[in-house]
Chain A
């Protein structure tokens, strides 16, 4: 047990609390068809378009597992450092709710496909910018089918509706549910965990992780206890957060609420609370009456799953390098800052673009700067993905090499960038045809200095009278006259010499 000693002056010692947080995350798998039937999983169709007798649980139908669901679940399990079950099965989870057509959900109970994993989160201290890492345990990952969607007529609140409308398009859509160990302690840690999970799923290509469309949903279990105590407090579940910042805010709010209740001597109820984005608070949804009785039993229509060792080896070999690995490699072997490493490794396409540029011989730090600054700004403004723009990795690599080789200055590179971003092309050819290469011949620069000084006799006189700041003015004139092509360092040196001679 960890204990924390808090320095207090004259004030009475206040009890310090810590939160114990676990997440249950549902990820929709990016398959074409449903988990047990060949209907479409496409989002946004008219209500009840993607339905069939299996989805609706008509009598006599036979569900058959979509092979890609198993592949994606196993790959997700491997990426989360889980043990893949040599023998796994599906079970029926029984409950009544109008969004569940069969009155049971096909899920996995005691033999999930993957267990005992972990992922590593990276935390940046908001004040010091220090980076720390923490390993979060993954209890289990299992496959299951999604339920339908309810629309509550006559009210935007469930309780005020006169009746409800059901759309079964989402019923039978494949999900993996990922349950974390209660290793998280703050809203920030939980939001980082959810983000890392999303990154991993997107790297694998097994889920798009779109929170707005419900492809990634997080339920949070949270309790607080005095620091140093072993016993968990009463667990409260919070739902309905549809962004990472909402997860963080909902948890921080809930920690404050529970601590305040304990301090005031009020009870904490075991209940489900909803996060209200509008009022930035959680509200009680329903009290949980003991543990639910789902009466799980083995799904008789689906045979067990035994992943063959050769199959497992093949799937393992297909895994890409994952974001945590990339971040640490970018920092240790490429010398990037933790910040740059984080930004570049966030999306697989960006990371791969960056790596190609570096492989082609460009300086890693410069490549990181161009990608995370000018290019990122352009992609953001145009709402483009990095692989959709005209500037291909080999072009950026060429441009960076022109800079490091001294052929062009950074300023010229910035000047030609807009055309490269929209049209592409060879930076080398552009520099040649437009005559933009850097002027670094001292003789040539001296000649231009003479021209500039001759054109500004008054400034020259003032400079020589002691107004040394005017050197900047002359450099500006040099740049103007050459459209920024003169080597800035050399220009400054030669200018000083001339001015002070």
Chain B
């Protein structure tokens, strides 16, 4: 079971700001989701390797060949704030 403290921690890790009411609401909701998924534990999976992907492939590579992305401006024009060629971000540390 997940408690209020854990919900707060997860919210902090995801940089989400939650209102007091939302914290309560998400604790309840997350718990019912976890309970639902918990049903899977009825199966014995001790000898089953974990599935991490939907498709069973391995060793997909590309050659080390240069291809320049042609439209740099379209990428940079997406950012909220710029200073010339740089992307401008708020200050990182208080101090």
**Chain A residues within 8 Å of B, Cβ to Cβ:** 31-33, 38-40, 46-49, 51-53, 56, 58, 64-70, 89, 94, 96-98, 150-153, 158-168, 293, 295, 298, 300, 302-306
A52, B66: Cα distance in complex, Å: 12
Given known contacts A64-B60, A89-B52, A163 and B86 CB-to-CB distance under 8 angstroms: no
Q: Residue A303 contacts which of B13, B58, B94 (CB distance < 8 angstroms)?
A: B58
User: Looking across the interface, which residue of chain B has its beta carbon closest to that of A153?
Assistant: B83
Indicate which residue in B9, B59, B64, B84 contacts A66 across the interface (CB closer than 8 Å): B64
Contact yes or no, B64 A165, CB < 8 A = no
- Total interface residues on B, CB under 8 Å, equals 35
Contact partner of B64 (CB less than 8 A), chosen from A68, A158, A302, is A68
Q: Is the CB of A32 within 8 A of B65?
A: yes
Does the CB pair B57–A38 fall under 8 Å? Answer: no
B93 touches A159 (CB 8 A): yes
Contacts of B90 in A (CB 8 A): 163-164
Chain A residues with CB under 8 Å of B94's CB are 159
**CB <8 Å contact, B60 and A303:** yes
Which 6 residue pairs of A and B lie closest in terms of their CB atoms, listed nearest first? A159-B95, A52-B69, A165-B86, A38-B67, A67-B61, A298-B52
Contacts A33-B65, A164-B89 given; 11 further ones with Cβ under 8 A? A32-B66, A38-B66, A39-B67, A64-B62, A66-B64, A69-B64, A158-B93, A159-B94, A162-B91, A164-B92, A300-B53
Expressed in whole angstroms, the minimum distance between the Cβ of B55 and any Cβ of chain A is 8
**Known: A64-B61, A65-B61, A164-B89. Contact between A303 and B66, CB under 8 A?**
no
Question: With the chains together, A96 CA to B13 CA distance in Å?
Answer: 9
A293: which B residues are within 8 A, CB to CB? Answer: 9, 13
Contact at B95–A160, with CB atoms within 8 Å? yes
- Across the interface, do B92 and A158 meet the contact criterion of CB distance under 8 Å? yes
Say yes or no: is B39 at the interface (Cβ < 8 Å to chain A).
no
Residue in chain B with minimal CB distance to A47:
B85
Question: CA A51 – CA B75 in complex, angstroms?
Answer: 8
Partner of A295, one of B13, B53, B89: B13
A-chain residues with CB within 8 Å of residue B60 when the two chains form the complex: 64-65, 302-303
Interface string of B37-65 (1 = CB under 8 A from A): 00000000000000011010111111111
Q: List 6 A-B contacts (CB under 8 A).
A: A47-B86, A51-B72, A64-B60, A150-B92, A164-B90, A167-B86
Residues of chain B within 8 A (CB-CB) of A303 are 53, 55, 57-60
Which chain A residues border B52 with CB–CB below 8 Å?
A: 89, 298, 300, 304
Closest chain A CB from B2 CB (angstroms): 15
CB proximity of B17 to chain A, nearest CB, Å: 14
Given A160-B95, A166-B89, verify A67-B64 contact (CB < 8 Å).
yes
Q: Name the residue on B nearest A306 (C-beta).
A: B58
Residues of A within 8 A of B65 (CB): 32-33, 38
Kindly list chain B residues whose C-beta atoms are within 8 Å of the C-beta of A39.
66-69
In the complex, what residue of chain B is closest to A301 when comparing beta carbons? B53
Known: A49-B72, A56-B75. A66 touches B92 (CB 8 A): no
Which of A70, A94, A98, A304 contacts B92 (CB under 8 A)?
Answer: A98
Q: Which of B66, B84, B87, B88 contacts A33 (CB 8 A)?
A: B66
Tell me the bound Cα distance from A48 to B83 in angstroms: 12
Q: How far is the CB of B92 from chain A (nearest CB, A)?
A: 6
A98 touches B89 (CB 8 A): yes
Supposing A32-B64, A70-B61 touch, asked if A165 and B15 sit within 8 A by C-beta, the answer is no
- With A33-B66, A89-B52 as contacts: A163 and B61 at CB distance below 8 Å: no
B59 & A305 in contact (Cβ 8 Å cutoff) = yes
* From A52, A53, A96, A165, contact of B83 by CB (8 A): A165
Q: Which of A67, A96, A300 contacts B15 (CB 8 A)?
A: A96
Once the chains bind, are B88 and A165 in contact (CB under 8 Å)? yes
Residue B76 CB within 8 A of the other chain: yes
In-complex Cβ contact of B68 among A40, A153, A161, A304 (8 A): A40
The answer to whether A48 and B93 touch across the interface, beta carbons within 8 angstroms, is no
Q: What is the CA–CA distance of A323 and B72 in the complex, to the nearest angstrom?
A: 43
Note all chain A residues with C-beta closer than 8 A to B88: 163-166
Contacts of A38 in B (CB 8 A): 62, 65-68
B residues in contact with A152, CB < 8 Å: 92
Q: Which of A51, A66, A160 contacts B69 (CB 8 A)?
A: A51
CB-CB under 8 A from B84, the residues of chain A are 47
Q: A residues within 8 A CB of B55?
A: 303
Question: What is the CA–CA distance of A129 and B21 in the complex, to the nearest angstrom?
Answer: 71
- Could you tell me the distance between the alpha carbons of A48 and B89 in the complex, rounded to whole angstroms? 14
